[in-house]
Amino acid sequence: MAVRLGLIGDNIGRSRSPRLHRLAGELCGLSVSYEPLVPPDLDLDFDAVFTRCQAEGFRGLNITYPYKEKVVARLRIEDTRVRAIAACNTVTFEEGGPLGFNTDCSGFVSAFRENFPDAAPGIVAMAGAGGVGKAVGFALASLGAAELRLFDGDFAKADALSVVLRQAAPAMRVTVAGSVGEAVSDADGVVNCTPLGMVGYPGSAIPKPLLAGRSWAFDAVYTPVETEFLQDARSKGLEVMSGYELFFHQGVDAFRIFTGCEVDQAALKAALDRDRAPDRAAS
């Protein structure tokens, strides 16, 4: 069985998604192709790339920065939580039209439980209220976070997310901070859901001195895996969860949606780790 997949996003030259899905296909006895699609490089806009994929017989797509919110208008979304998130990173092309999912949310829950099996999120400060920030906010509510403090340079975006989260997850206190320092003060966890730290976007959304005294940190960025933010967090004694863990679990969930197959996660992780070995040796 041949399965044609793709990834639409900007700045995805180092994405490991093609390798993850091809390896998962091999482990499940499927022939999987997975194409990186960068609209500016194709001299097309997002809608034109999406339409072309639908016309050319793609089974599905992953959607990444900065198109996770833009794609929603083109999709049928059956899951009420995903409709509330209003951002999708996984699309399948069905007879009734494109269907949207959010495996960032489910993937974060799985990654958190795997990395911090005995911990609750507690009070969490989160920088970034875009597509991945929305998914992580809902995931933190599912994990029982006591409080979520949002910070985004676009105050209106953070405020809009706070309203949605308060309605969907009334047990979690949600506030919008006026500064990153206000958000991080006395928080247990610190989360980066901005593109800062990604290849092409150097820096960190959370200044290093603010990390002292926090318990755990997560960075949604995974290219590179070792971001400045995570390095700063480790140096301050925090337990960390990298964006690679979210990448892996959201990828497993997306592969299941695309193919209906349950991949052997241990075997897939081992194969991906072998690919990562040269990167770690060079770092």
Catalytic-residue membership of 34? no
Q: How far apart are CA 39 and CA 41, in angstroms?
A: 5
Catalytic residue among 67, 201, 222, 244: 67
Close Cβ partners of 237 (under 8 Å, ≥ 6 residues apart) = none
Return the active site residues.
Answer: 67
